Structure 1
Amino acid sequence: MIMIADNEEIKENVVRKLEENGSDYKVVPFYEKYVIIEGNKDAGERLYSKKYRDKTVVDVGDIKIGEGLVFAAGPCSVEDEDQIIEIARSVKKAGANMLRGGAFKPRTSPYSFQGLGEEGLELLKKAKEDTGLPIVTEIMNPEYYKFFDDIDMLQVGSRNAQNFDLLRFLGRQKKPVLLKNGMGNTLKEWLEASEYIMSGGNGNVVLCYRGVRGIEEATRFSMNVGTVIAARSMTHLPMCVDPSHASGKREYVEAMTLAAVAAGADMIEIEVHNNPDCALSDSEQQVTPEVFGRIVKKAKQIKNIVSNSQFI
């Protein structure tokens, strides 16, 4: 059974009665309320469900994800100080609200560039100091969390979408989490992954759709915008889309972005590089700052249209 307490006093009264009855229970801080789950069985109704609230807005610094349209842009990998600062300045000028960049990089091949690790995080922080852009970057292991103190948003990549130990750990933190779907996950499995984080008390979750592995080879992954629409009907969590990984080709990123915004995305994460052909990772899917600026302008026009229409 699930009970919702609107304040501390009600929560304490419910807990006292459960303890008097010898019941097992769990209390989950849930935004301004408390969710009290009695027993050790499956809770049934999910915290991500619209039963609890219609829409969540996640604050990342001064940025509000879930209000308007937010853009996170930057390179797939942080390569050196000049590169990340130059790109940060360029994407901010072109309309980015946040800076994305990989410091710890999970790669298919162990011989591929794995990122600069802790050094990469320090370079991201320098770019933040220079531009004021909040940072979103991937965390792969709870042991690395000590390096992420000044990082504004933690990204869980596709390969870790069902790393339940990592998800439970992030649920005990308060930092916002950008949760990507696993490349072979169903929508239900993706939402259940968010439940791991939320059931730990961290409701600052943004879902990020990056497509799934399919039979089509023309794009790197298959991006079904119907998944975005369906997710928005099922959850109050904000929705981000990553057209860079979905497309795998920079010439498709613009169209995929516009389709995602038309489907109701609250946030777009795009890989941007000042010299894409020479990037140390994912060179084919990164766009230039100039192209990114054009995408932002068109996407905002689409957002204005759907915002003034009847929508889920």
Structure 2
Amino acid sequence: MAYVQEAVNKIIELCKIASPTGYTDKIMEYLVSEVKKLGFKYEITNTKSFIVDLGHGDSNAILFMAHIDTLGAMVKSIKENGRLKLTKIGGYPFSHIENENCIVFTRDGKEYTGTIYNVHPSVHVYKDTGTIERNEDNIEVVLDQKVKSKEDVKELGIMPGDFIAFDPRTILTKTGFLKSRFLDDKAGAGILLTLAKIVRDFVIEPKRKIYIMFTSYEEVGHGAAAGIPEDVSEIIAVDMGAVGGDLESDVYSVSICAKDSSGPYDYDIVTKLIKAAKLADVNFTVDIYPYYSSDASVAMYAGYNVKHGLIGPGVYASHGYERTHVDAIEATLKLLQKYLELE
């Protein structure tokens, strides 16, 4: 299926664009370029949500959403020895970013690479290298610059509040495994860009008006709190399907979420998603995520009068170095296509 490879390519391209929450202008430029190629109308809201109008029916509009912001960090302070102290953007343990390469983006447009270490990184020097607590005080950025003091770093133009992005390390194996940071939710975003192309190419005949929305503040909890068009009656978040524990989900299937930490998703929508998955003849699971909440739930909290649902390709090791498989991307894309064909 040509469109599956298209989705995979888009996901890889998106993963390579740094976009920690609050620093999404570069990826927004990418979206503008892609949507202009497809010929659809779009708008960018004040809260930096990117909304695409795919047309078709006049009422009962449906909106699919994914988020383009990712986990990241900011410079909290500059240490006297020239190292940088971090403050997290989004929810993850510091152990998930230890020994990762990163980029610091200054307010005047400069970029500096570095590596994230714990403060006692060498087993030949420190007795507690393996046991030291991984927290804000013990994790730091070592810049790839000849700096020895706070003043040296300031001369580079680095200051508190500068954004820090982690190396995504995106890899597609010959066996179809896609490994990368930020598959949450670059996978969903790439799938929705491909769905837009499918609609443009008249591969399917949707029964309803369709919007796609890419949000910029999901990882901090308010991505879809504003900006949903007035004629939308249904929203479906296309995010990751969490894998692990006693969940049914795996990296080869599309996961349909029946309930997460925000409560149950709309009964009719979940039932219809299950029906579409069966008709599309794809591998799917129905799951309950204990420590998860989506942009669709945020929209409900914001007071939108809509029905809501959540699906996504199964992603292992969420908020770490994540992995999925091309099969899960294909299953998600086919489910969305079939869903749009249902009354």
TM-score (norm 1): 0.26
Q: Which structure would you say has the larger RCO, counting Cα contacts within 8 Å and 6 or more residues apart?
A: 2
Greater fraction helix: 1
What is the TM-score with the length of structure 2 in the denominator?
Answer: 0.24
